[in-house]
Structure 1
Amino acid sequence: MKNQILLPAILILVTLFSSCKQEPEECRLDEDILKTEVDLEIVRLEKEFFDAKSAEDFSYLFEQHPYFAEKYLLTSTYPTKEELASELLVAHQDTLMRELYDEVMIHYPDIEDLEKDLGNAFKYIKHYFPEFKIPKVYTFVSGFSSDLYVDSEMIVIGLDYFLPADHRFQAPDLPEYIAKRYEAKYIVPMIVTAISSAYNKTDLKQNSLVAEMIYYGKAYHFTKAILPCTPDEFIIGYSGEEVAACFDNEEMIWSYFVENDLLFETNPFEIRKYTGEAPSTVEISPDAPGRVGRWLGWNIVDDYQFNNEVPLWELMAESDTEKIFKLSGYKPRP
């Protein structure tokens, strides 16, 4: 019976999931927050590693950057560090690896904009969370083995993943719908979203779709709070047109979740259909972007924060997803 009720809505969604991109309003960062002192210097480790001429040079770099060597290069997984040094020497002498490094240096001759944007993000995080410690930040050319590494001590940005979308070098293991999010303008939002997990106390043991939706909603809400002038598409990884279309169809999307009793679904395979990586959410419409449950969760969290005037630290610390959902007063925008 549900399928008969929903069929007209799905047909309408297929037609309506297109929209003109809305013009962004002018946005300025808070000057008082920008006065926050942060000690950030991005070290371009790719230069040091590709300038190494011998295994001994690599061993020296391991000693100079021990945390990077252990956590990123995983030195402890090798019988000896000398063996890893020898492997890196061979890899960095490979013609294609040298070409990849050269292309990264062409497209990233300097990283001043990245350093400025990431520095401003750190100032905002420190404003909301004074205990936040500025991690060491490195860039690297990984040969498409690692895009981003983020923990409380260190961030490593694999710049080879963030070459232009039409570049001949592309990560071989990324489908196109994910690869389109790997450009320079996505780097800082991806880092901030990763950092949000340290503050996101959502209780996923509640094991429901709405819990997972709210987890991601809090992550995106955090990122938007830290990067208030960053368009939504660079935070969630949709195109501007997809963001606009989701808002245009918000009532229908919400109706689909409600009428199919999805919010408290606990089957992980069902949950993944609405929050997992996919080119589209075909259950709703072939034209609906993937991960639409995450987008909906973002709206719920935004409404919870707005309607209850909850500060960011308190929002992130709230573990009760049903409380957030109920007190959000969420309703689709007319």
Structure 2
Amino acid sequence: MKFFRYYLIFLMAFLTVNSCQKEPKDLWKTEIEGQKENITITDISKEYFDSSTSTEAFKQKYPWFQGTVSDADFDLRRKDAEEIKIYKEAISKIDRNKLKNELSELFARVKHYFPQFNSPKVYLFSSSLQMAKDPIFLQPYENFLFIDVTGFMGENNSHYEGMEHYYQTSMNPQNIVPKVSQIIAENLVPADAEHRKFIDMLIYNGKIMLLQDAFLPNFPDYLKINYTPKQYEWATANEANVWNFFVENNLIFSDEARLEGRFIAPAPFSKFYTAIDNESSPQIGIFTGWQICRNFFEKNPDTRMADFLNMNASEIFNQSEYKPKN
């Protein structure tokens, strides 16, 4: 099988040559017209842990923050020394000015492609690690964006002891904006519940990643896909090998349910069920779908973004003429 035949060749090249990453064309590095929006970032937990702010005053200002927690428990948690310690360490790692500028740039670019987009109100908060694995969520109706700062305390932070390491690799402050961009993109890409073939999964995730290119043209690719630099290098070096594996094993148009878990879902590595699994990059199906969508735009650079997002997987795949070479 070609996948195995060429692997050693690629491994030798990887060890002796710097990464020969395929640079996408600068389709997205356009100047944004008009001034960027002057967004505000509110640190809810700063007020939450401030003893000079009464619980009643806090609840009136943020009536949705308490949830179903009783008043007595709410008061106790506001004074919890360990929770205060975690919050202070987490917030100390965030460069607020940098974050504000990058989010302002991100929102401006989203609005450039989607004029109906309204920049959300941004709230920082501490979940005391309870939401660290999934630290960003968007509430579309209120147009609120929440960022849990305990999800970005840095890889191998002592507070993450016991957590799977493959989650930790994207839990650094530099991952905040790409993850925000990903959440926005996921809300813009239409879901196709009827088609669950592997190609549908590849293209659906490829659309999200293509939006990452449009929204974050000045960010490195490895951050857009939540990879480490080494993982991104493996994915680019083995792009053709992975594609050959998919083709030779008749996976592209397969509806086998396990393929999502093997190549799309978060994991320490992708599951080819071969000796190289432990060396592989995780979620390689997302990377592959991304390259297919990039190829589509290289072939069809004048396609409107809205039209592209509404195209079905087969159309995009066929028009991409995707055939990575060794």
Question: What TM-score does the superposition give when structure 1 sets the normalisation length?
Answer: 0.84
Cα gap change, 1:32 to 1:300, in 2 (>3 Å): closer
Higher relative contact order (CA 8 A, sep 6+): 1
- Residue 43 of structure 2 is matched in structure 1 by 44
**Shift of residue 215 of structure 1?**
1.1
Q: Give the partner amino acid of 2:98.
A: D
Q: 1:261 to 1:112 in 2, by over 3 A?
A: same
- 1:86-139 deviations in Å (ceiling 9; x for gaps): 22322232221121122124323x501001000100000111111001111000
String of CA shifts for 1:7-60, please: whole Å, max 9, x gaps. Answer: 5356666666666346999x9x96841633424101011111011468xx3343
Give the match for residue 235 of structure 1. 224
Q: Which moved more, 1:158-167 or 1:4-13?
A: 4-13
**Structure 2 unmatched runs, 5+:** none
CA contact (8 A) 2:270 2:280 kept: yes
Q: CA deviation at 1:278?
A: 1.4
Identical residues among aligned pairs (%) = 23
| Correspondence for 2:295 | 303
In 2, the alpha carbon distance for the partners of 1:224 and 1:157 equals 22
CA-to-aligned-CA distance 1:168-221 (integer Å, 9 cap, x gap): 22275x410111101111100101111112220242420111111111111111
Residue 196 (structure 2) aligns with: 207
After superposition, the C-alpha distances for 1:208-248 in whole angstroms (9 at most, x for unaligned) are: 11111111111111011111010011011112222222222
Counterpart secondary structure, 1:118? helix
Which secondary structure state, in structure 2, belongs to the residue aligned with residue 133 of structure 1? Answer: coil
For 1:44 and 1:97, the matched residues in 2 are separated by 15
1:48 alignment partner AA: E
Partner of 2:57: 60
Moved more, 9-18 or 88-97: 9-18
The whole-number CA distance in structure 2 between the counterparts of 1:150 and 1:249 is: 35
CA distance in structure 1 between the partners assigned to 2:296 and 2:80 by the alignment: 53
Alignment of 1:1-334 (within 5 A): 7-9=4-6, 20-21=18-19, 32-33=31-32, 35-52=34-51, 57-66=54-63, 68-69=64-65, 73=66, 75=67, 78=68, 83-108=69-94, 110-146=95-131, 147-152=135-140, 153-170=143-160, 172=162, 174-283=163-272, 285-286=276-277, 287-309=279-301, 310-318=303-311, 320-334=312-326
Name the SS of the counterpart of 1:198 in structure 2: helix
Q: Between 130-139 and 13-22, report the one with greater CA deviation.
A: 13-22
Residues of 1 paired with 2:177 and 2:285: CA distance?
Answer: 23
Rate the CA distance shift 1:13–1:205 in 2: closer, same or farther, 3 A.
farther
Query: What letter is aligned with 1:246?
Result: A
Mapped partners of 2:182, 2:161: distance in 1 = 21
In structure 2, relative to structure 1, the CA distance for the partners of 1:324 and 1:300 (3 Å cut) is same
The separation in 2 between residues aligned to 1:115 and 1:126, in whole angstroms, is: 16
User: Partner letter of residue 107 of structure 2?
Assistant: F
More divergent stretch after superposition (269-278 vs 230-239)? 269-278
Alignment check: 8 A CA contact 1:118 1:188 kept? yes
Return the alpha-carbon distance in structure 2 between the equivalents of residues 193 and 235 of structure 1. 8
Q: Greater share of helix residues, 1 or 2?
A: 1
Matched residue type, 1:317? N
Aligned equivalents of 1:122 and 1:258: distance in 2?
Answer: 38
CA contact (8 A) 1:162 1:182 kept: yes
Are 1:124 and 1:226, in contact at CA under 8 Å, matched by a contact in 2? yes
Distance 1:321 1:24 in 2: 23
Give SS of 2:123's match. Answer: strand
Total equivalences in the alignment: 313
Q: Secondary structure at the match of 1:277?
A: coil
Q: 1:272 to 1:304 in 2, by over 3 A?
A: same
What RMSD over aligned residues (CA atoms) do the two structures have, in Å?
2.7
Give unpaired runs (5+ residues) of structure 1: none
Compared CA separation, residues 193 and 105, structure 1 to 2 (3 A): closer
- Alpha carbons of structure 1 residues 258 and 178: separation in structure 2 relative to 1, 3 Å: same
Decide whether aligned partners of structure 1 residues 270 and 166 sit closer, same or farther in structure 2, where only a CA change above 3 A counts. Answer: closer
- 1:218 aligns to what SS in structure 2? helix
Amino acid corresponding to residue 32 of structure 2 in structure 1: I
Please report how far the alpha carbon of residue 260 of structure 1 lies from its aligned counterpart in structure 2 after TM superposition: 0.3
